[in-house]
Amino acid sequence: MSDLTKIPVTVITGFLGSGKTTLIRHLMQNPQGKRLAILVNEFGTVGVDGDILKACADENCPEENIVELANGCICCTVADDFIPTIEALLAMPQR
């Protein structure tokens, strides 16, 4: 992506057990005409939420639109993976 196209992004944060995954699952089931992709920033080496969300994949948000960046913070450790991941998601054909 060579130009500076603006891409709408919603960031969902919260404490453990605050309902982030439940909210995301609800959004997946009710996309309201939006094209969805989910990028899970997993701080640990073993991802849990990414697997849960992939199990909920459907025609509104297929499994290939759910990507996990594991083992670090998106602003530091895995920052180099963030932009290429967004670009790969944008390059996917629209369903």
- Tens place of pLDDT for every residue, the chain, 95 residues? 456 678 888 889 888 889 998 999 999 899 898 888 888 887 766 777 788 888 887 887 888 888 888 777 777 777 788 888 888 888 888 76
Helix, strand, or coil (residue 84): helix
Residue found by looking up tokens 């309902």 in the block: 19
Q: Full-prediction pTM beyond 0.95?
A: no
Count of helices and strands (H, E) across the chain: 3, 2
Q: 69 and 78 in contact (C-beta within 8 Å)?
A: yes
**Which segments of 1-95 does DSSP mark as H helices, in order?**
20-29, 49-55, 79-91
The Cα–Cα gap between 66 and 46 comes to 16
